[in-house]
Amino acid sequence: MSDERRHGAKRSLGQNFLVSREIAGRIVEEAGIAAGGLVFEIGPGRGALTVHLAGTGARVVAFEIDRRLADELGARFRGLERMEIVHRDIREADLDGEAEARGYDAFTLLGNIPYNLTSTILLDLPRWRLCRTALLMVQREVGERIVAPPGERECGILSVYLQSYLETERVLRVRPGSFSPRPKVESVVLRFAPKGEGEGPGDREEFLRFLKGAFSQRRKKLGSIFREIFGMSDAGYLSRLEGLSGASMDDRPEELSLGQWKRLYEAHIRGSGS
C-alpha cells in the first residue's frame, strides 16, 4: 500500500497533513488572532490548525477542496456557530467578498498550502485588500526565494512581486516529521502584511506580466531582454529607461532593487504607450 493511501492523503491534491500540535499552536499564536475577528483557513485537511483556531474566539471559515475532509470537519465542528467549513477550491473564492458578506472589513489568512499550488495562491495575496495578516506554510526552498531581498541571486518573480506590496518574513521552520504523510522536504511559515497604498505599481496584473517577461530569461542582461522579449530595440528608448529607473541595461533581473523595478516598469509603460 502506498504512503498516500496508508495516510488517507490524495496525491492529486498535494495533501500532506499537518499533525504536529506544537507547530499548529505556534502558527496560531504568531497570527495574533483576536476574539471576534475573522479568519480564513486554506485547506484545513484533518483540522490541526482549525482546532487551535476554534479556541481563539474568532469566526473561522475553512475552505477545503476535498469533499470527504470537508464533511468530516463539518461534523466535527457542528454546533459551533462561529466555525464554518466550506467545500470549495480556494482559488475560486473572492476572499474580500466573503469577508464583506459576513459583515467584516478585515480578515486574517492562514494555511498549509499544497506545494503544487504555492505560486497560484501567493500571487493572489496582493489583491486581497481586506487581508491584514497572512501566515502561510510553503516548501522551504520556495520560502527562501520569496523572502530573498531583490538584488540577490535567489530573488525572482515571487520575491519582487510580493515584496512590492507586502512585508514578508520567515517566522517558523517546519520539519518533515510534522506532517502525515511525511514529505521529502522541509517547510517554512511565512508572514505577509500589506504595505501602504502606493508602495507598488497600481496595476498589479500588468506589473506581474512585466516581471514574468523580464525574468523569463533571467541570465540575460536587461538590454537583451527589452530587445528580445519586449521588442524595444531603440537605443534612445533604452537610455531613457536607464535614466528614469537608475538601472543599467547591463544589469541582470536579480540585480535590481524594488525601487528600480518600480521605476523601470513605470518608465517602460509610459515609453511604450501601454
Residue 146 three-state SS: helix
Query: According to the model, what pLDDT value does residue 15 have?
Result: 60
Strands (E), the chain: 17-18, 38-42, 59-64, 83-87, 107-112, 131-139, 166-174, 179-180, 187-194
Cell of residue 239, nine digits: 537610455
CA-CA distance, 252 to 241, in Å (whole number)?
Answer: 14
Query: According to the model, what pLDDT value does residue 14 have?
Result: 46
Cell of residue 59, nine digits: 469566526
pLDDT along the chain (274 residues), means of 10: 42 69 96 96 94 96 94 95 95 96 98 86 94 96 92 90 96 94 92 90 95 92 93 89 94 94 93 59
Determine the distance from the C-alpha atom of residue 9 to the mean position of all C-alpha atoms in its chain, rounded to a whole number. Answer: 23
CA-CA distance, 253 to 247, in Å (whole number)?
Answer: 10
CA-CA distance, 70 to 47, in Å (whole number)?
Answer: 10
Query: According to the model, what pLDDT value does residue 116 have?
Result: 80
Contact 137, 14 (CB under 8 A): no
Q: Work out the burial of residue 151: count CB atoms within 10 Å of its CB; fewer than 13 is exposed, 13-18 middle, 19 or more buried.
A: middle
Instruction: Output helix, strand, coil percentages for the chain, rounded to the nearest 5.
Output: 45, 20, 35
Instruction: List alpha helices for 32-104, DSSP H.
Output: 48-54, 67-76, 95-101
